[in-house]
Amino acid sequence: MPALRVILVWHQHQPFYKDLVTGEYRLPWTRLHALKDYYGMVKLLDEFPSVHQNFNLVPSLMVQIQDYVAGTAQDPFLSVAAKPAKDLSQEERRFALQYLFQANPQKLIGRYPRYHELWERFREHGDHPERAERYFQPQDLTDLQVLSQIAWFDEFFLEEKDVAALVAKGHNYSLDDQKLVIARERELLGRVLPAHAEAAKQGSIELSTTPFYHPILPLVCDTSAGAVSSPGLALPQNRYRHPEDAREQLTRGLDLHEKVFGLRPKGVWPSEGSLSEEVLAIAHSVGVKWMATDEGVLGRSTGSFFARDGNGRLPGNLAEKLYNIHRYENGTAAMHLVFRDHTISDLIGFVYSGMPPAEAAQHLIGNIKEAAKPVLAKGRDAVVSIILDGENAWEYYPKSGREFLRYFYDGLQREAGVEAVTVSEAIARHKDFGKMTSLVPGSWIGANFNVWIGAPEDNRAWDYLHHAREFYAQHAARATEEQRKLAFEEILIAEGSDWNWWYGPEHHSANDRDFDELYRKHLSNVYQALGAVPPDSLAQPIAGAEVRPSFVPQTAYIHPRVTGDKVRYFEWMGAAIYTADNRSGAMHGKQFLLDSVYVGIDSTHVYGRLDFKDKVPEGDFDLVVNVESWASGELRPRRALRVEASVHERTLKGWKIENGSEELVTASSSQPDEHVKLALLRNFEFKVPLAWLLATPSAAPAERAAERKAVAVAATSRLRLRFSLWQNRLPVDSLPLEGWIELQVLSEGDLIFGA
């Protein structure tokens, strides 16, 4: 019988946050993700001995973890979390408020009631540390310091007795509690790399590496590769061509793995799945046996387009091509290549977090089996490769996705004819390799390099790197060995992909400015290490203005006609507006279908309008609006409604509104409520009575504004709304991506006067 082999590769990576000159860590994410994700992802496999996997550890991540374990990491975020609250300076208190709330609001902050309470208080003052600082007393700050760390603890760590006791305590933490958390962090971080070493020794995982500082190797070899995969792409003014640096980055990664784990890796996940023929030749020359990238690179290289049907399935000939291991041979270079299933990998990254864990795991296993069917039906072994980040997705799952993974792994080990294997195991067992003699350069994002080159910000960053590299070449010979070593290390760091990830239009985070400043600091250090003054250009930001999702609160009652035709601009004036930021964060691949939402009330109804990113999507899909009403001080919503509309070929075919399991009204009701309406034309609109939500606008007196405000605040209730689009029973996009849009249920006068 043919076998279905599932390859899972978890890519563990964080940027290099350390400034080599000052020794300070600019951002804390290496420490926090090492506490939350890396250990448990490996430890979980103890429960599933027949499920073998691959973990790709980026060397620059490993050395940062080692720095923390050694106690030599200078982390100002950790210092502020560890300092007694009463001793914090005003600047430190504001620093704590700025950074200690940088966590997923629902899955991390929302898991701890006191943490969520403090976060809400911070939000009440506009998310501005300067405004909010006076409202946080020492006990508030101590609770924040403790809970902001515990929130990032791995599920296994949360089960340990002393940590569990702190979680149970919940609030009013003491200085001793604070000291315990900080002391435990270093000890817990010390378990991460040994856990990987032990699992590799037992054979349950294979460890692979990445070039040391996570550079885009094809671009380091030659920035002209950017225009090979994207003809006509604007390139930097100066061509960057340093294949010797690419070799150095790759060799260093292999060496560090061998030093730490006692085994030299056979395989490499190239940074962002970025490959070219020049990179394959270098990798072959340093002993690499296999590499992996995305299906898009295979498609471009073989003239194929992996188009799926409405159920996400490939036709037989394309399935045979993708669900195979390929052997690349060109001249003296040879390499086994594995290509990820882009669709299935992205379901884990972006979709399954919105489903019940057992249902999501069952759907995933069914997807894998269905995908492989055309190959197995021909009596051939199928290899389905799933490759994605091993940390970022879990912030969006309950309990870091462990329930989902347990259901998934249990299902894998129970499926007859299915093997979860390492890449090397799959290669050893495979018989009929696909043949490749050429490869079009590309990455796992669009089969090109457009995220890292082409935009004005990207190209400016490459030009600055070029100038620093040229300066090094001209002046290194006259410097001391120590100076040369430091300057070259900074160049290798600056070659990393993470800086240009945040430049250009594709991605942003709350730390865009930090990344920009740190990149320019690394380049400045090159000049300073060689005894020179950095150029003035490095004192100016590369990044332009930040693009953020925007929210404008409701300013007046609205009375729109519900027709689904968004040309009636003036009818929605005064509504609250939430505009999506269609740039993704650390994870790339999110599908954006929704653009903006308008919501508002009048004295009797709540109205909603959903605008699509381009036009109404093709195919069948469902639109879901969740609406909750909340009263001040209550811990649960008064009423929760679910508005669900079914769309077929861009036409509204049916809808219903439910309160829990109770169906209130449908499109087919014999006497539909005249006060309820849904419409879809160029956009989606609805109106629902406020009475259905047990919500009534406050009736404030018309006297003095101060009295009006006092009465309104006392009586105010609020609505929370979330819009989502579902295809094939999967949540594909939502607004907001996290959290809710909030409306105050006020009288019109209170809205106008800003009560």
Three-state DSSP class for residue 290: strand
Same domain, 506 and 425: no
Q: Answer yes or no: do 181 and 216 share one domain.
A: no
Do both 530 and 556 map to the same domain?
no
Divide the 755 residues of the chain into consecutive groups of 10 and give the mean pLDDT of each group. Answer: 97 94 93 96 97 98 97 96 97 95 93 96 87 95 98 97 98 98 97 98 97 98 95 95 98 98 97 98 98 96 90 93 98 97 92 94 97 96 96 92 98 96 98 96 93 94 98 97 97 96 80 89 95 90 65 83 74 83 56 86 93 87 93 83 92 90 74 78 92 78 41 60 85 81 83 51
- Can you state the percent helix, strand and coil of the chain, rounding each to 5? 45, 20, 35
Q: Which of helix, strand or coil describes residue 495?
A: coil
User: Both ends of the chain: CA-CA distance in Å?
Assistant: 71
Among 539, 572, 602, identify where a domain stops.
539
Shared-domain flag, residues 709 and 574: yes
Half-sphere exposure of 253 (CA within 13 A, CB side): 35
> Where in 80-222 does DSSP place strands (E)?
205-208
Is residue 21 situated within a structural domain? no
**pLDDT in the model for residue 699:** 55
371 with 419, same domain? yes
Q: How far apart are CA 749 and CA 752, in angstroms?
A: 5
Distance, in Å, from the CA atom of 150 to the CA atom of 185, rounded to the nearest integer, reads 9
Give yes or no for a contact between 627 and 720, defined as CB atoms under 8 angstroms apart: yes
Query: For residue 56, is it within any domain?
Result: no
pLDDT value at position 567? 61
Instruction: Give the predicted TM-score (pTM) of the model.
Output: 0.80
Q: Are 338 and 290 in contact, with CB atoms under 8 Å apart?
A: yes
* Residue that terminates a domain, selected from 132, 161, 190: 190
User: Between β-strands 326-330 and 434-436, what pairing exists: parallel, antiparallel or unpaired?
Assistant: parallel
Total tally of structural domains belonging to the chain: 4
Distance (Å) of CA 431 to CA 26, 302, 326, 383, 593: 49, 21, 11, 11, 42
- The region, left, alpha or beta by phi > 0 then psi within -120 to 50, assigned to residue 300 is alpha
599 and 573: one domain? yes
CA dist 557 and 690 (Å) reads 13
- pLDDT score at 588: 55
498 & 598 share domain: no
Question: How many other β-carbons are positioned within 10 Å of the β-carbon of residue 47?
Answer: 12
| Residue 29, domain member (yes or no) | no
Q: Is 448 part of a structural domain of the chain? A: no
Q: Which two tokens stand for residue 422?
A: 């390492």
CATH number of the domain within which 532 lies:
1.20.1430.10
Please report where in the chains the tokens 């001040």 appear, as a residue. 632
d(C-alpha 348, C-alpha 443), whole Å: 19
Per the domain annotation, does 37 fall within a domain? no
Domain with 323 in it = 4-16+193-229+240-436
Tokens 């919501």 — which residue?
599
Sorted by sequence, the CB contacts under 8 Å of residue 522 that are 6+ apart come out as: 19, 20, 490, 493, 494
Alpha helices in 286-381 (DSSP H): 295-302, 316-322, 342-346, 357-376
Tell me, what's the pLDDT at 57? 98
Q: How far apart are CA 600 and CA 571, in angstroms?
A: 11
654 shares its domain with 719: yes
Please check whether residues 515 and 605 belong to one and the same domain.
no
CATH number at residue 614: 2.60.40
The 3-state DSSP class for residue 401 equals helix
The DSSP bridge partners found for residue 363 are: none
Do 180 and 295 lie in one domain? The reply is no
What's the pLDDT score for residue 248? 98
Q: Tell me the three state secondary structure of residue 677.
A: strand
Shared-domain flag, residues 416 and 475: no
What is the maximum alpha-carbon separation in the chain?
89
- C-alpha to C-alpha distances, 682 to 471, 580, 608, 620, nearest whole angstrom: 56, 18, 14, 16
- Check residue 707 and give its pLDDT: 42
DSSP labels, 53-118: EEEEE-HHHHHHHHHHHHT--B-HHHHHHHS-GGG--HHHHHHHHHHTT-S-TTTTGGGSHHHHHH
**Beta pairing partners, 642:** 626, 658
Same domain membership, residue 262 and residue 411: yes
Which one-letter DSSP state was computed for residue 37? Answer: I
* Angle subtended at Cα 546 by Cα 545 and Cα 548, rounded to the nearest 5 degrees: 140
| Cβ-based neighbour number of residue 300 at 10 Å | 17
Examine residue 527 and state whether it is found in any structural domain, yes or no.
yes
Please report whether residue 64 resides in a domain: no
The DSSP line for 145-177 is HHHHHHTTS-HHHHTSHHHHHHHHH-S---HHH
DSSP letter, residue 150: H
pLDDT for 705 equals: 43
Instruction: Output the six-digit token pair for 377.
Output: 């039906």
Please report whether residue 35 resides in a domain: no
- Considering 519, 539, 559, which residue would you say is the last residue of a domain? 539
Candidates 428, 426, 585, 430; CA nearest to 8 is 426
Rg from Cα positions in the chain: 27
